[in-house]
Structure 1
Amino acid sequence: MNLKKKKKSYKASNLPPGTIAYRGKKQSVATNIEIINYSKDKCTILNTGAVQEAFNFKGNEHVTWININGLNNVNDIETLGLHYKLHPLTLEDIVNTGQRPKLEEFENYMFVVFKMLFIKNDDEIHYEHLSLIVGEDYVLTFQEADGDVFDDLRERLQSAKGRIRSQGSDYLMYAILDAVVDNYFTVIEVLGDKVEDLEGLLFQSNKADDRTPGQIQQLKQEILRMRRSIYPLREVISRIEKTDFAFIEEKTHSYLRDLHDHIIQVSESIDLYREMIWSLMDMYMTIISNKMNEIMKVLTIIATIFIPLTFIAGIYGMNFKNMPELNTDNGYFILLGVMFILFIFMLIYFRRKRWL
């Protein structure tokens, strides 16, 4: 694993407040606008690349959901913002993908920024900047590119399942937030599987190698990024639930309270896995330390066995003429026998002490 850190470049934009400048990585995404206009008895779906086609649905006594993909096309977003009388600071935040989750209330709409997380390529966690604007009879959502978690919601709108077609724009806002939060549980499940797999790898110490610390560090960074993306949404949903905004009906507040409970559950799971990943690093260091202790123990035992043998060999390796044993018949074999007996005795002693 190449852990060489890429050099980052930091550049201050220093633009006037309200300047609409895209700040993201997807610079070549074409504008794709999905319009869902519905009432209790009818649902119309339109996909287009022309932002002007969204103007015809305003004020038609139906609820309209307009989903815009492609934040890099700031001219289209500015055109739509002018039609719906969105504040310049709102438009600035829509195209700034570095915004943390937040809630802002204006005279004729409410603006929510949050992160949409979903799984791509089996276990890769994808992060999407999502902005939501809810007005009296419309909901606008803005995201960087194609791919979201709203397929079930679209199917419910088309087939008139549940109560969504008979509710207003405030319930549609709740349904969108609920779809995002429900998908957090799927992401958390994938994250939990990664943590548990790594934990199992560590317990099988023969499979842990030099790549393990990098895997732990990568997983820790993933958890921290997820925490930064999800944690602030607790406060956002709590504020929406407590607000007395004119477009949010009283019966919708009970759904928002349930949504708040869900996001707290997600946050607690993230904190749990955060603690687990820290303990995995401690566990890895403990395993490495134990391995080192085992190696040092073996080397110490070997050195201890050979100390007396080396001592005897050293004595009889001295070049003195008056050493009585030098002229002893079979002295060489007697000395080897004594050394062998010492060797066996020390092995038995270490075995009884359970050092071997």
Structure 2
Amino acid sequence: MYYRIAEKLAEEPRRAQNGWQGLAAVLRPEELATAGLPRGVAEQAAEKLAECRSCRLTVEPDCIQGELHIPAKGKHKPRNLLFAWWEDSLLFVDRGETAAECLETVRRMRPHHADGADDLLMDFFLALVAEDLGEIQSLEDRISELEQAVLESHTEGFIARMSRLRRELNQRNRFYAQLDDLVTTLQENAADLLDECSQSRLLYVLRRLDRLQNETQLLREYASQVSSEYQAQVDIAQNRIMKLLTIVTTIFMPLSLIVGWYGMNFAYMPELGWRYGYPVVIAVSVLVVGGCVVYFRRKRYW
């Protein structure tokens, strides 16, 4: 898919183009060999795409190349894509539809002075994270549901669900930090290639990424708070069980004393020869247990 870079990004058939001046393209790795790219731009692109595990920027004398590893978002699995910027042209290498969707988002953006590859690249970064605040809100809703479940003592599967949420938050936070570092590197090493509009858009991208990082960090703290609440509920439940066991042990301790007392088998124990000795011991045991139960109930130990 090819686009003519102008104030309004326009889709254009490749066969109508001679060369790559002022052109943006979204290609798959297998299309690079026949795309007529400048020498060195597409070299090792497929290999880099397969090995991409982070966001990073490579600044060369005649070309700026970047690798993007986008974590799973919603129904999307983790995705990788590459971009290359040379002169007034941009190339995106993508096995999926992420780059094409971002460029379509750019086409729908409010018109502004954007007529170069530098402006398009900044708009691409904005489109890449355009929906992330809404997705972060969805993550917050999921954490809130877990918190409500903990408060209602419905904690089945809590650890597995919270682990997934924490993993997603960590991946997003890492992505925003790496993308922020990539854009900062571009600002420091390619300032001479950015016009006034693209520099303004770059600063906006950095502010947006900083805000997303802050929101993600707040959610990580929120998740930790909910985990602490869950642990508190577990501790309370364990304390209740230990309290119940302690009360039961205390109630039956006098019976153990009675059993031990009459288990000594001394020769001169008058109760052993008494006709009513056995019923009396039973009655005493019942009275002791009943008295302990009444006492603990009055003291509200359970």
Q: TM-score, normalised by structure 2?
A: 0.82
Q: Give the structure 1 partner of residue 2 of structure 2.
A: 35
Which of the residues 102, 110, 132 maps onto 1:150?
Answer: 102
**Alpha-carbon distance in structure 2 between the residues aligned to 1:141 and 1:114:** 11
**Offset of residue 37 of structure 1:** 1.9
Distance 1:98 1:40, change over 3 A: closer
Q: Give the structure 2 partner of residue 208 of structure 1.
A: 155
Which of the residues 290, 314, 324 maps onto 2:236?
Answer: 290
Q: Give the structure 2 partner of residue 239 of structure 1.
A: 185
Q: Give the structure 1 partner of residue 112 of structure 2.
A: 163
**Alpha-carbon distance in structure 1 between the residues aligned to 2:284 and 2:260:** 14
Indicate whether 1:137 and 2:107 are aligned: no
**Alpha-carbon distance in structure 2 between the residues aligned to 1:302 and 1:53:** 87
- 1:27-78 deviation line (CA, Å, top 9, x unaligned): xxxxxxx1122545883444xxxxx74863623xxx422112x33x2xx324
**Offset of residue 174 of structure 1:** 0.9
**Offset of residue 342 of structure 1:** 2.0
Unmatched 5+ residue regions in structure 2?
none
**Offset of residue 291 of structure 1:** 2.1
Indicate whether 1:347 and 2:298 are aligned: no
Equivalent position amino acid for 1:112 in 2: G
Equivalent position amino acid for 1:66 in 2: A
Report SS of the residue matched to 2:155: coil
Equivalent position amino acid for 2:94 in 1: Q
**Offset of residue 258 of structure 1:** 1.4
Indicate whether 1:108 and 2:62 are aligned: yes
**Offset of residue 155 of structure 1:** 4.3
Q: Give the structure 1 partner of residue 45 of structure 2.
A: 91
**Alpha-carbon distance in structure 1 between the residues aligned to 2:16 and 2:133:** 33
Equivalent position amino acid for 1:163 in 2: H
**Offset of residue 99 of structure 1:** 4.1
Equivalent position amino acid for 1:137 in 2: D
- What's the C-alpha RMSD, in Å, of the aligned pairs? 3.2
Which of the residues 255, 268, 277 maps onto 2:214?
Answer: 268
- 1:259-303 deviation line (CA, Å, top 9, x unaligned): 101111112222333334444444444433332222122112111
Matched-pair contact (CA < 8 Å) for 1:150–1:179: yes
Report SS of the residue matched to 2:96: coil
Matched-pair contact (CA < 8 Å) for 2:41–2:84: no
Q: TM-score, normalised by structure 1?
A: 0.71
**Alpha-carbon distance in structure 2 between the residues aligned to 1:195 and 1:111:** 37
Equivalent position amino acid for 1:77 in 2: L
**Alpha-carbon distance in structure 1 between the residues aligned to 2:43 and 2:288:** 86
Identity of aligned residues (%): 21
Matched-pair contact (CA < 8 Å) for 2:45–2:82: no
Q: Give the structure 1 partner of residue 136 of structure 2.
A: 188
**Offset of residue 152 of structure 1:** 5.0
**Alpha-carbon distance in structure 2 between the residues aligned to 1:272 and 1:112:** 29
Distance 1:42 1:258, change over 3 A: closer
**Offset of residue 176 of structure 1:** 0.5
Report SS of the residue matched to 1:108: coil
Indicate whether 1:65 and 2:24 are aligned: yes
Which of the residues 14, 32, 39 maps onto 1:77?
Answer: 32
Equivalent position amino acid for 1:203 in 2: L
**Bigger helix fraction:** 2
Unmatched 5+ residue regions in structure 1?
1-33, 47-51
Q: Give the structure 2 partner of residue 6 of structure 1.
A: none
**Alpha-carbon distance in structure 2 between the residues aligned to 1:43 and 1:89:** 27
Report SS of the residue matched to 1:96: helix
Matched-pair contact (CA < 8 Å) for 1:125–1:187: no
Which of the residues 18, 22, 27 maps onto 1:56?
Answer: 18
**Alpha-carbon distance in structure 2 between the residues aligned to 1:85 and 1:55:** 18
Aligned length: 301
